Structure 1
């Protein structure tokens, strides 16, 4: 049974097969013709979409909802909604006001969209919970703190560490409350989804956040569930410190080499999940591309403590047949290996022309992102670049590229961008997976004026 296979993997037991978990998110809505907003706000449409995910993809585990803004919305953040993405945070209640919310603000079962989510969790549990492990995804404490505080949070880490620890401690209490609600509703796995972690130095994580994460994962286990740590972006240098927070599993995206990362997670006996590329393979690739990626992964990595999954929340428009191709590659690896043994991928991205960086009229800031709407780390990287617009106005040019648009993928690859998100100025890499403060970006731009 798929559920037992996944739970055994997260308990680090030996298994005969590797589990597959599609992080279907808003993609689930696309299977039934519903928009992202509909599937994230209407319980009946969400339930119907999840049943379609279960029918088509026969997952060993599946998330109920992939939306890191549920808690932030309750705590006062305004959201910008999209038709094909989860909402993004547009305002931060404590921007310019370094305070910590009072404990009375911790979300209750009756707040915001929580009642809808809990109802769907119970319905899905009753329908497929015997054969499929169900994930409850919670906005991690550091990302939630950045939603509350805004881009100033990254300077706070350097200037006001005691304040940051207090704010993240509050956010951990929010995570624990959500854990209570989700476990009570039948979730088998609780995942703290904290994409911002990839933008913070390992030393800062250890000094400021380690105790809170360890407490959160201990709390999840005390409730009888298993705990996973989700990160996006290039978290290569953060892998060791993430392992030391003691989760049962870690999930990474395509920015991290899963073979190298697994060497670290194996040292701590932690399961690792990932990392089928979301756009180049799942969104824009062929069925053969998806089959070959998964087969190659399985052929080059130890299967113990391994979960195959997309690198993060699947794009809305991923073709159904591409996900099914991944399922087949996991469940029927030998047959699929034979099918794709002579397959060679064809470049469908095309070419782009790069600017003449040596002869620009003014500084040109380029932000290379996965997707600033869907990826929290990318959102804050884009906002950091826009601080230069506030400071210098039309004296600078700014462009934002998304790794979910073919032309932008081609540009990213031609520029040789290694890690997302990153900021380039006049064609030169300045910040890679580290979000600059306002002062840092102002000082850097001045060098080019």
Structure 2
């Protein structure tokens, strides 16, 4: 059996001896051959060379060709900011100040933006490794794409203008279907609908606004003969059940979700689930043994590998040590060897000292935004944007700081603060918003309440 077929068997809900392994090596692929993130995302030859190195080193059952949720946004008029060590972020939102819907003639074509590069890379990867490796085509989900176009206003619109939100999501669904067509024509086996902002809304809002477009999209993908995956970041625990009801073939979650508990829900719907190796504390900053142990413990905890895919929680950090990912590969493919290696292993916890602010002595409200990284994580981007927008209203009357989980010291900081889920907003040391992007009004109220307590 080929590695590809093993993954297909899981997506077909068949029992397999060993869970398939899908490293989400987006821009990290470039690190393997000395290219930065921008080079990988703008040059077909460099992208393919990087992907082939991933295939050789990490021996995946499946792999994405490009992990960039901004492809569609760029084509539709969003200005991007590129980086050397991460995917680009959205800088401008063309619908931020106008509540209109783009005309249907403005849908992506194979010649738009960076799609010629991406589609050519997909075809070449299909030719070179497609017989043994399942290839993922990642598209930006309707809700995150709507947020790219509308900005943080989309969250207020869900209360103030429901019809507009539904119309905008309907347009974004059309974009997603067009991208699906292009990617399947280029040879993609699995269409992953990546929508990190799903974790930032309630199940009620999901059912009201997102059930219809996602259900339609997964039905469309199936009719086109491809497998589907619903990819969400952040603490999506509350939405796992409603996500399942849209009938994807699989769901992928990150470290904010208890995968073993979530699998009990997805199993009821007979849907595969993938994840959720921690990106920073384990993959980026851990040892080989840490990575191996996480996978072994996860598989041992779940026991039944039916409907299970081993994968990172999201797009792997650019600087993830190669040896850590190879250790995961060994843990997946040779679990008995991994168990032997780990027999006498004890996790080493670094004692990193961090000093928290003296919250009782603050002269003005302090807003601490805890993120994975607002430049690379869409949910974190919009959480940070909501805070920056409020900062414009209050000016020097409040202080704002972002703590990124990608920085080792902040892992210790979050432990000391008691941060359990990302992104999150703390005001004067108190958790106010966790995995829910607040409206402008909600943030104002929380800040004003904090100010009142300080008098």
- How do 1:183-194 residues align onto structure 2 when only pairs under 5 Å count? 183-194=184-195
Q: Quote the offset at 1:15 in angstroms.
A: 1.6
Task: Determine helix, strand or coil for the equivalent of 2:276.
Answer: strand
Q: Quote the offset at 1:349 in angstroms.
A: 5.9
| Distance in 1 between residues matched to 2:273 and 2:180, nearest whole Å | 21
Asked if structure 1 preserves the Cα contact closer than 8 Å seen for 2:36 and 2:84, the reply is: yes
Distance 1:349 1:280, change over 3 A: farther
| 1:361-418 deviation line (CA, Å, top 9, x unaligned) | 1100000011111110000000111122101111111110111001111111110011
Asked if structure 2 preserves the Cα contact closer than 8 Å seen for 1:391 and 1:442, the reply is: no
2:439 counterpart residue number: 437
| 1:409-444 deviation line (CA, Å, top 9, x unaligned) | 111111001110000000001111111111221222
Asked if structure 1 preserves the Cα contact closer than 8 Å seen for 2:233 and 2:314, the reply is: yes
**Please, what TM-score do these two structures have when normalized by structure 2?**
0.98
Q: Quote the offset at 1:7 in angstroms.
A: 0.8
Question: Structure 1: which 4+ aligned runs deviate by more than 6 Å?
Answer: none
2:449 counterpart residue number: 447
Aligned length: 449
Task: Determine helix, strand or coil for the equivalent of 2:383.
Answer: helix
| Distance in 2 between residues matched to 1:233 and 1:379, nearest whole Å | 12
| Distance in 1 between residues matched to 2:350 and 2:41, nearest whole Å | 32
Q: Quote the offset at 1:32 in angstroms.
A: 0.7
| Distance in 2 between residues matched to 1:439 and 1:387, nearest whole Å | 11
1:159 counterpart residue number: 160
Is 2:404 the counterpart of 1:402? yes
| 1:44-63 deviation line (CA, Å, top 9, x unaligned) | 00000000000100100000
Distance 1:330 1:74, change over 3 A: same
2:354 counterpart residue number: 352
| Distance in 2 between residues matched to 1:348 and 1:284, nearest whole Å | 11
| Distance in 2 between residues matched to 1:264 and 1:397, nearest whole Å | 41
Task: Determine helix, strand or coil for the equivalent of 1:117.
Answer: helix
Asked if structure 2 preserves the Cα contact closer than 8 Å seen for 1:349 and 1:407, the reply is: no
| Distance in 2 between residues matched to 1:426 and 1:297, nearest whole Å | 36
| 1:65-106 deviation line (CA, Å, top 9, x unaligned) | 000000000011011111000000011000021111110111
Is 2:36 the counterpart of 1:24? no
| 1:90-125 deviation line (CA, Å, top 9, x unaligned) | 110000211111101111111001111000000000
Q: CA RMSD in A?
A: 0.8
Structure 2: segments with no counterpart, 5+ residues = none
2:311 counterpart residue number: 309
2:224 counterpart residue number: 223
| Between 385-394 and 181-190, the greater mean CA deviation after superposition | 385-394
2:333 counterpart residue number: 331
Asked if structure 2 preserves the Cα contact closer than 8 Å seen for 1:24 and 1:314, the reply is: yes
1:241 counterpart residue number: 242
2:211 counterpart residue number: 210
1:342 counterpart residue number: 344
| Distance in 2 between residues matched to 1:391 and 1:444, nearest whole Å | 14
1:74 counterpart residue number: 75
1:375 counterpart residue number: 377
Distance 1:129 1:104, change over 3 A: same
| Distance in 2 between residues matched to 1:95 and 1:73, nearest whole Å | 15
| Distance in 2 between residues matched to 1:98 and 1:369, nearest whole Å | 29
Structure 1: segments with no counterpart, 5+ residues = none
1:84 counterpart residue number: 85
1:276 counterpart residue number: 277
1:390 counterpart residue number: 392
Asked if structure 2 preserves the Cα contact closer than 8 Å seen for 1:367 and 1:401, the reply is: yes
**Please, what TM-score do these two structures have when normalized by structure 1?**
0.99
Is 2:91 the counterpart of 1:58? no
Task: Determine helix, strand or coil for the equivalent of 2:105.
Answer: helix
Task: Determine helix, strand or coil for the equivalent of 1:448.
Answer: helix
| Distance in 2 between residues matched to 1:247 and 1:356, nearest whole Å | 47
- How do 1:59-138 residues align onto structure 2 when only pairs under 5 Å count? 59-138=60-139
| Distance in 1 between residues matched to 2:430 and 2:131, nearest whole Å | 53
1:199 counterpart residue number: 200
Is 2:260 the counterpart of 1:262? no
- How do 1:2-21 residues align onto structure 2 when only pairs under 5 Å count? 2-21=3-22
